[in-house]
Amino acid sequence: MARNLRLLLCYDGTDFHGWQFQPGFRTVQHTLQQQLRRVLRHEVTLVASGRTDAGVHAAGQVANVVTSCTIPCHKLRHAIGSRLPEDLGVRAVTEVAMDFHAIRSAAGKLYRYRIFNTPVRPVTRSIQRYAYHFWEPLDVHRMQEAASRFVGEKDFTSMAARRCVRQTMVRRVMRCDVERHLDEIRIDVEGGGFLYNQVRNMVGTLIDIGRGRWEPECIDEMLAGRDRSLAGPTAPAHGLSLQWVRYPAELLCPRTTPVETDSD
């Protein structure tokens, strides 16, 4: 009997060439699939909620795989996790509805970007792999005002990679928060889905506003222009992490149809 398994994953993306399988490169998908085949004892098709780029990290990536293996989920987590390298981990394995799909079923996700904003290098706190070092002072209040202008359902062509072409460039951003925690600035972007490099381009633009290159209201003009050249640079990958992915509750249960019971 087939089972659909949801894998909650975390990884340090520094030494991975992104999520998606690429011949000749070390990727998260390839590394995980190799061990899944050994544990489940059959070929697998692994689907993730999104294809993180080279250098991007994850604290709550989600993937699903269909299997006929009968090993209980808690034992699978240990069996798979114990075979993985130190920079990739399985936080949980749960059985979900057969129509659960890591990409298509996603209702929202949160990315966090970390900026170490001080002249001193981030090695003083051992976070150089996970935070972008920007030594010029940044005005968080200006960044917050600009970030609020990203919220809503808008055309994000100006914030997508130049080679990004989709049926629609409209995406919904539920929130874009900028907060300072001592020497670190954290930018949280929650949305229903994102275009290629959208979050990193949003961050690069906010950094330029924080340093005084543009005024916060310029965000409106950038989005209206639908031209990548109007916005700021792409922030480095290593400051970005996928924090979590949200799904409809009914899909997180193994059964999607009600159990038939005898009626009186």
Q: Which domain CATH number covers 125?
A: 3.30.70.660
For 16-43, write each residue's pLDDT tens digit.
999 999 999 999 999 999 999 999 999 9
For 159-200, write each residue's pLDDT tens digit.
999 887 778 999 999 999 999 999 999 999 999 999 999 999
Helix/strand/coil percent split, the chain, to 5: 25, 30, 45
Whether 250 is covered by a domain: the verdict is no
The residue out of 59, 75, 105 marking a domain boundary is 105
Q: Are residues 112 and 240 in the same domain?
A: yes
Global pTM exceeds 0.85 = yes
Whether 253 is covered by a domain: the verdict is no
pLDDT at position 124, please? 79
Query: Token pair for residue 62?
Result: 């989600």
Whether 16 is covered by a domain: the verdict is yes
Whether 255 is covered by a domain: the verdict is no
- Does 53 qualify as catalytic in the annotation? yes
pLDDT at position 53, please? 94
Angle between helices 218-225 and 198-210 (to 10 degrees): 150
Whether 7 is covered by a domain: the verdict is yes
Whether 78 is covered by a domain: the verdict is yes
Domain count, the chain: 2
Whether 80 is covered by a domain: the verdict is yes
| Set 53, 177, 183, 188: catalytic member | 53
Q: Are residues 184 and 79 in the same domain?
A: no
Whether 35 is covered by a domain: the verdict is yes
Tens-binned pLDDT, residue by residue, of the chain (264 aa): 899 999 999 999 999 999 999 999 999 999 999 999 999 999 999 999 999 999 999 999 999 999 999 999 999 999 999 999 999 999 999 999 999 999 999 999 999 999 999 999 888 788 999 999 999 999 999 999 999 999 999 999 999 998 877 789 999 999 999 999 999 999 999 999 999 999 999 999 999 999 999 999 999 999 999 999 999 999 999 999 999 999 999 999 886 444 444 433
CATH number for the domain harbouring residue 57: 3.30.70.580
Q: Are residues 81 and 137 in the same domain?
A: no
pLDDT at position 255, please? 65
The residue out of 39, 74, 105 marking a domain boundary is 105
Q: Are residues 71 and 182 in the same domain?
A: no
- CA 133, CA 117: separation in Å to the nearest integer? 6
Task: State whether the Cα torsion 90-103-245-15 is positive or negative.
Answer: positive
Nearest alpha carbon to residue 180 among 92, 115, 228:
115
Q: Are residues 66 and 126 in the same domain?
A: no
Q: Are residues 26 and 145 in the same domain?
A: no
The residue out of 38, 72, 105 marking a domain boundary is 105
pLDDT at position 162, please? 84
- Residues near 232 by beta carbon (within 8 Å), at least 6 away in sequence: 201, 204, 205, 206, 207, 208, 209, 213, 214
For residue 243, the 8-state DSSP code is E
Q: Are residues 58 and 83 in the same domain?
A: yes
Q: Are residues 241 and 229 in the same domain?
A: yes
Three-class SS state of 191: strand
Q: Are residues 89 and 128 in the same domain?
A: no
- Residues near 248 by beta carbon (within 8 Å), at least 6 away in sequence: 105, 107
Q: Are residues 49 and 7 in the same domain?
A: yes
Q: Are residues 79 and 115 in the same domain?
A: no
- CA 128, CA 107: separation in Å to the nearest integer? 32
What is the residue range of 118's domain? 108-245
Whole-number percent of the chain with pLDDT over 90: 89
Q: Are residues 119 and 224 in the same domain?
A: yes
